[in-house]
Structure 1
Amino acid sequence: MHLPQIGPSGSVQKFDGLCVLPLNIVNEKIYVFLWFWFIFLSVLSGISLIYRCCVIVGPKMRLYLLRAKCRIASSDQVETIANKCEVGDWFVLYQLGKNIDPLIFKEVMSDLAKKLEGKETV
């Protein structure tokens, strides 16, 4: 297909529609890569969503994750805290365990367990 256009010198220039095919090949490769990338991201997002649902629904999962975060604390104390805390409380403790020193987190967990058991008054 020939598309007549006027060039800078005033003469008629003929452009062929086939000259854009190499650019289409590059675009095709980019779109194939993006398609596989989006599939990969969708799978990862699905796995993350399933993980979050398991954490929200399963108290045993929260107990396991809290034990893994605070290995030096007594498992009885961690179990007491996990059984008496809601999901939001667990999430704050989990984030706290990620961001402070493990020895300080152990002390926080032991103090919290004592207060939840009622052995220590506020």
Structure 2
Amino acid sequence: MTSAAAVLAVSQADDATADAVTGELNRRRIPVVRLDPGDSPGELSVAARLDEDGMRGSAWTRSRVVDLQRVRSVYWCRPHLYTAPTGLAEQDARWCVNEARYGLGGILPSPPSAHYVNHPWRPR
């Protein structure tokens, strides 16, 4: 798990701008966790809860884990849309996408005390 305050880079895996940003963060030895909401389910998992102290939880990919309370900044740059598992009926797939949009879409933009570059709720 990332122990130092990390930057959460939410972007497509093949986004050149995010590549440059994460490359510079790595060069500066700033912990960065890059993920794409479109990778859920499968490549991305998130678990969070609200309690009297606010939101607590983690997000993890195959190679990184980040404590959402330790996110210092969020860089949001053209992530993929949420997806449903393959093989579902159309109605079930729509339900899964909506649940992910509201669940992940509420958690990923909400780490306490994080500074945002292009907050995801602004363009909406």
TM bucket (normalised to shorter chain) is under 0.3
Report the TM-score, using the length of structure 1 for normalisation.
0.23
Normalised to the residue count of structure 2, the TM-score between the two structures is: 0.23
Q: Which has the higher strand share?
A: 2
Bigger RCO of structures 1 and 2 (CA < 8 A, at least 6 apart): 2
